[in-house]
């Protein structure tokens, strides 16, 4: 399993898209929004304050983690390489861990880059950022499982379109850009039923040193992570059998 996980790690980090989207885009957004916030008298909105926006960007960067893992699985499915591995002694468990484990350090590295860059833009550096990083792990897992699920079900060509929708859903329904309560109604209900705003609120609370504020968001994220993980395993096993 270690060799397969190492292979997957190399496949991801050797793709320039990984750096460009995974770390580059969130950093550019942090820079842009911070400058915008500073240039306008009284700031723009509370979501754009660096203490709120940086943890949200860390979560946003995980959308690309989902993309990387999805593309990896879909690419392997398309090639005969996976057929070769299916004939090997690797088990279903080896495959799942092999696809998930290498993605986690990449996700955490993206979050660290977001926080480090945000520190230059005024984010207060405290020990709570480490707590936030710890709590980002279940969120990263959830996004990774979404990626594996999509990668197991869709072709690599279909994946691009579906992921552009996914990235939009994860950001617009997450409260990254504005307080979802400003719109309220059905929109807020949908946001509450999806895990993305909970992931953002949890990261914000943890980074701000408000451990009580991570609840009930943590349960939502864990619940979705377990459900997405189970669905990904089932979908991948079905593909193995097919």
Q: Which residues in this chain contact other proteins in the complex, by CB under 8 A? A: 2-4, 6-7, 10-11, 14-15, 79-81, 83-91, 241
CB-based contacts of 202, cutoff 8 Å, min separation 6: 135, 139, 213, 214, 217, 218, 221
Nearer to other proteins, 84 or 124 (CB): 84
Picking from 56, 30, 48, the residue whose alpha carbon sits closest to that of residue 201 is 56
3-state SS assignment for residue 127: coil
Shortest distance, position 63 Cβ to other proteins, whole Å: 22
- Least spacing, CB of residue 146 vs other proteins, in Å: 23
**Which of 207, 188, 233, 10 lies closest to 103, judged by CA?**
10
Q: Which is nearer to other proteins, 87 or 186 (CB)?
A: 87
Quote the least distance from Cβ 11 to other proteins, whole Å. 5
Nearer to other proteins, 6 or 28 (CB): 6
User: Closer CB to other proteins, residue 18 or residue 170?
Assistant: 18
CB of 180 to other proteins, least distance (A): 39
Is the distance from CB of 4 to CB of 94 less than 8 angstroms?
Answer: yes
Quick one: 7 or 188, whose CB is closer to other proteins? 7
Residue 200 in tokens = 């953002």
Contact 82, 72 (CB under 8 A): no
In the chain, count H helices and then E strands. 12, 0
If the CB atoms of residues 78 and 124 are measured against other proteins, the closer one turns out to be 78
> Phi/psi of residue 210, each to 5°?
-120, 75
User: What three-state secondary structure class fits 155?
Assistant: coil
Q: Are 1 and 94 within 8 A, CB to CB? A: yes
Q: Which is nearer to other proteins, 16 or 41 (CB)?
A: 16
Q: Least distance in Å: CB of 239 to other proteins? A: 12
- Other CB atoms within 10 Å distance of the CB of residue 19: 13
What is the longest distance spanned by two Cα atoms in the chain? 63
């Amino acid at each position: 399993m270690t060799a397969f996980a190492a292979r997957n790690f190399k496949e991801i980090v050797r793709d320039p898209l990984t750096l460009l989207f995974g770390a580059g885009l969130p950093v550019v957004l942090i820079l842009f929004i911070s400058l915008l916030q500073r240039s306008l008298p009284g700031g723009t909105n509370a979501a754009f304050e660096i203490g709120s926006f940086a943890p949200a960007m860390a979560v946003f960067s995980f959308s690309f983690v989902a993309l990387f893992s999805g593309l990896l699985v879909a690419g392997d499915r398309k090639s005969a390489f996976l057929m070769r591995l299916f004939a090997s002694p690797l088990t279903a468990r080896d495959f799942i861990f092999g696809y998930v484990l290498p993605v986690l350090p990449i996700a955490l590295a993206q979050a660290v880059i977001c926080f480090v860059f945000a520190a230059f833009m005024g984010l207060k550096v405290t020990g709570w950022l480490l707590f936030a990083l710890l709590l980002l792990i279940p969120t990263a897992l959830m996004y990774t499982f979404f990626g594996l699920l999509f990668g197991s079900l869709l072709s690599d060509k279909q994946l691009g379109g579906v992921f552009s929708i996914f990235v939009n859903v994860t950001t617009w329904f997450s409260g990254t850009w504005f307080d979802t309560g400003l719109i309220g109604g059905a929109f807020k209900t949908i946001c509450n039923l999806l895990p993305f705003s909970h992931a953002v609120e949890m990261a914000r609370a943890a980074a701000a040193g408000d451990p009580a504020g991570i609840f009930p968001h943590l349960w939502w994220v864990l619940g979705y992570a377990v459900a997405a993980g189970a669905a990904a395993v089932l979908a991948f096993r079905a593909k193995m059998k097919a």
